[in-house]
Protein backbone atom coordinates (compact mmCIF):
# COMPACT_ATOMS: atom_id res chain seq x y z
CA UNK A 1 0.00 0.00 0.00
CA UNK A 2 1.32 3.43 -0.88
CA UNK A 3 0.38 6.84 0.39
CA UNK A 4 0.87 10.11 -1.43
CA UNK A 5 0.63 13.64 -0.19
CA UNK A 6 -1.20 16.09 -2.40
CA UNK A 7 -0.35 19.46 -0.90
CA UNK A 8 -1.32 21.57 -3.91
CA UNK A 9 -5.06 20.86 -4.09
CA UNK A 10 -7.98 21.99 -2.03
CA UNK A 11 -10.38 19.74 -0.15
CA UNK A 12 -12.32 18.89 -3.32
CA UNK A 13 -9.24 17.56 -5.10
CA UNK A 14 -8.64 20.38 -7.54
CA UNK A 15 -6.43 23.41 -7.55
CA UNK A 16 -8.56 26.54 -7.11
CA UNK A 17 -5.98 28.88 -8.59
CA UNK A 18 -5.59 27.21 -11.97
CA UNK A 19 -8.92 25.46 -12.57
CA UNK A 20 -11.48 27.20 -14.73
CA UNK A 21 -9.33 30.11 -15.84
CA UNK A 22 -10.70 31.69 -18.98
CA UNK A 23 -8.70 31.92 -22.18
CA UNK A 24 -8.25 35.09 -24.16
CA UNK A 25 -8.30 34.87 -27.93
CA UNK A 26 -5.92 37.07 -29.88
CA UNK A 27 -8.02 37.02 -33.05
CA UNK A 28 -9.25 40.49 -34.09
CA UNK A 29 -11.01 39.23 -37.24
CA UNK A 30 -13.74 37.49 -35.28
CA UNK A 31 -14.25 40.54 -33.11
CA UNK A 32 -14.62 42.79 -36.15
CA UNK A 33 -17.06 40.33 -37.72
CA UNK A 34 -19.22 40.31 -34.59
CA UNK A 35 -19.10 44.12 -34.48
CA UNK A 36 -20.16 44.35 -38.13
CA UNK A 37 -23.11 42.00 -37.50
CA UNK A 38 -24.25 44.03 -34.51
CA UNK A 39 -23.98 47.37 -36.34
CA UNK A 40 -25.84 45.98 -39.36
CA UNK A 41 -28.55 44.56 -37.11
CA UNK A 42 -28.97 47.85 -35.27
CA UNK A 43 -29.17 49.66 -38.60
CA UNK A 44 -31.91 47.33 -39.83
CA UNK A 45 -33.90 47.84 -36.63
CA UNK A 46 -33.61 51.61 -36.95
CA UNK A 47 -34.61 51.40 -40.64
CA UNK A 48 -37.70 49.37 -39.71
CA UNK A 49 -38.71 52.03 -37.20
CA UNK A 50 -37.82 54.79 -39.64
CA UNK A 51 -40.34 53.50 -42.19
CA UNK A 52 -43.13 54.49 -39.82
CA UNK A 53 -41.60 57.61 -38.29
CA UNK A 54 -40.31 59.30 -41.46
CA UNK A 55 -42.05 62.64 -42.08
CA UNK A 56 -44.05 62.91 -45.25
CA UNK A 57 -44.51 59.17 -45.66
CA UNK A 58 -47.55 57.95 -47.47
CA UNK A 59 -50.44 56.47 -45.50
CA UNK A 60 -52.22 54.98 -48.51
CA UNK A 61 -53.73 51.53 -47.96
CA UNK A 62 -51.70 49.80 -50.66
CA UNK A 63 -48.39 51.20 -49.28
CA UNK A 64 -49.19 50.34 -45.64
CA UNK A 65 -49.08 46.59 -46.32
CA UNK A 66 -45.69 46.89 -48.04
CA UNK A 67 -44.36 49.02 -45.15
CA UNK A 68 -45.64 46.50 -42.61
CA UNK A 69 -43.99 43.54 -44.34
CA UNK A 70 -40.70 45.43 -44.85
CA UNK A 71 -40.57 46.61 -41.25
CA UNK A 72 -41.34 43.15 -39.84
CA UNK A 73 -38.68 41.48 -42.01
CA UNK A 74 -36.06 44.17 -41.35
CA UNK A 75 -36.81 44.13 -37.60
CA UNK A 76 -36.62 40.33 -37.40
CA UNK A 77 -33.38 40.11 -39.38
CA UNK A 78 -31.95 43.00 -37.35
CA UNK A 79 -32.75 41.27 -34.05
CA UNK A 80 -31.23 38.03 -35.33
CA UNK A 81 -28.03 39.83 -36.36
CA UNK A 82 -27.75 41.61 -33.02
CA UNK A 83 -28.17 38.29 -31.18
CA UNK A 84 -25.67 36.52 -33.47
CA UNK A 85 -23.16 39.28 -32.80
CA UNK A 86 -22.77 38.40 -29.14
CA UNK A 87 -19.41 37.03 -28.02
CA UNK A 88 -19.19 33.25 -27.62
CA UNK A 89 -18.31 31.78 -24.26
CA UNK A 90 -14.58 31.59 -23.73
CA UNK A 91 -13.10 28.11 -23.29
CA UNK A 92 -11.84 27.13 -19.87
CA UNK A 93 -8.47 25.73 -18.89
CA UNK A 94 -7.82 23.00 -16.37
CA UNK A 95 -4.22 22.41 -15.32
CA UNK A 96 -3.56 19.22 -13.42
CA UNK A 97 -0.36 19.79 -11.45
CA UNK A 98 -0.16 16.22 -10.18
CA UNK A 99 -0.42 14.52 -13.58
CA UNK A 100 1.19 17.52 -15.31
CA UNK A 101 -1.47 17.91 -17.97
CA UNK A 102 -3.26 20.86 -19.59
CA UNK A 103 -6.85 20.48 -20.74
CA UNK A 104 -8.77 23.16 -22.66
CA UNK A 105 -12.52 22.61 -22.81
CA UNK A 106 -15.71 24.44 -23.70
CA UNK A 107 -18.95 24.11 -21.79
CA UNK A 108 -21.91 23.52 -24.06
CA UNK A 109 -25.31 22.99 -22.47
CA UNK A 110 -24.13 21.15 -19.42
CA UNK A 111 -21.43 18.97 -20.97
CA UNK A 112 -17.76 19.61 -21.54
CA UNK A 113 -16.22 19.38 -25.00
CA UNK A 114 -12.46 18.86 -24.82
CA UNK A 115 -10.72 21.14 -27.31
CA UNK A 116 -7.14 20.20 -26.45
CA UNK A 117 -5.52 17.82 -23.98
CA UNK A 118 -1.76 17.42 -23.62
CA UNK A 119 0.97 16.92 -21.05
CA UNK A 120 3.47 19.60 -20.04
CA UNK A 121 6.14 17.84 -22.11
CA UNK A 122 3.96 18.00 -25.26
CA UNK A 123 3.54 21.79 -25.10
CA UNK A 124 5.28 23.74 -27.85
CA UNK A 125 6.54 26.59 -25.69
CA UNK A 126 5.68 28.58 -22.60
CA UNK A 127 6.18 32.30 -22.07
CA UNK A 128 6.28 33.74 -18.56
CA UNK A 129 5.73 37.44 -17.89
CA UNK A 130 5.39 38.50 -14.24
CA UNK A 131 2.31 36.53 -13.03
CA UNK A 132 1.06 35.40 -16.45
CA UNK A 133 1.94 32.19 -18.27
CA UNK A 134 1.11 31.79 -21.97
CA UNK A 135 0.94 28.16 -23.08
CA UNK A 136 1.43 27.35 -26.79
CA UNK A 137 0.88 23.99 -28.49
CA UNK A 138 3.30 22.24 -30.85
CA UNK A 139 1.76 24.00 -33.89
CA UNK A 140 2.44 27.41 -32.30
CA UNK A 141 -1.24 28.10 -31.49
CA UNK A 142 -2.11 29.82 -28.23
CA UNK A 143 -3.72 27.29 -25.89
CA UNK A 144 -4.16 29.32 -22.75
CA UNK A 145 -3.11 32.40 -20.88
CA UNK A 146 -3.26 31.76 -17.15
CA UNK A 147 -2.51 33.93 -14.15
CA UNK A 148 -2.76 31.82 -10.98
CA UNK A 149 -3.92 33.85 -7.98
CA UNK A 150 -2.33 31.56 -5.40
CA UNK A 151 1.47 31.88 -5.07
CA UNK A 152 1.87 28.22 -4.10
CA UNK A 153 -0.04 27.11 -7.19
CA UNK A 154 2.02 29.41 -9.38
CA UNK A 155 5.28 28.07 -7.94
CA UNK A 156 4.09 24.48 -8.43
CA UNK A 157 3.04 25.23 -12.02
CA UNK A 158 6.34 26.96 -12.85
CA UNK A 159 8.37 24.14 -11.30
CA UNK A 160 6.35 21.52 -13.20
CA UNK A 161 6.95 23.39 -16.46
CA UNK A 162 10.66 23.70 -15.65
CA UNK A 163 10.89 19.98 -14.97
CA UNK A 164 9.28 19.33 -18.36
CA UNK A 165 11.87 21.62 -19.99
CA UNK A 166 9.42 24.30 -21.12
CA UNK A 167 10.72 27.20 -18.99
- Sign of CA pseudo-dihedral 135, 137, 139, 142: negative
Provide the whole-model pTM: 0.52
pLDDT band at 104 (very low <50, low <70, confident <90, very high): confident
Q: What is the pLDDT of residue 14?
A: 47
145-167 b/e (C-beta count within 10 Å ≥ 16 → b): bbebeeeebbebbbebbeeeebb
Mind listing the pLDDT tens digit for each residue in 107-127? 777 787 888 888 888 888 888
pLDDT band at 49 (very low <50, low <70, confident <90, very high): very high
Report the alpha-carbon distance of residue 94 to residue 22 in Å, rounded. Answer: 10
87-112 b/e (C-beta count within 10 Å ≥ 16 → b): eeeebbbbbbbeeebbbbbeeeeeee
Mind listing the pLDDT tens digit for each residue in 3-46? 444 444 444 444 444 544 444 545 677 788 889 999 999 999 99
Report the alpha-carbon distance of residue 123 to residue 135 in Å, rounded. Answer: 7
Amino acid sequence: MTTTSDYITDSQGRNPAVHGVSVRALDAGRTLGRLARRVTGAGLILAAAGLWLAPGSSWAADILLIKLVLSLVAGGVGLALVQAGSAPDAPEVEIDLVRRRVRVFARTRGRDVVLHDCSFADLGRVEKTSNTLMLWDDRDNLLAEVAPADRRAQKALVSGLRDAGKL
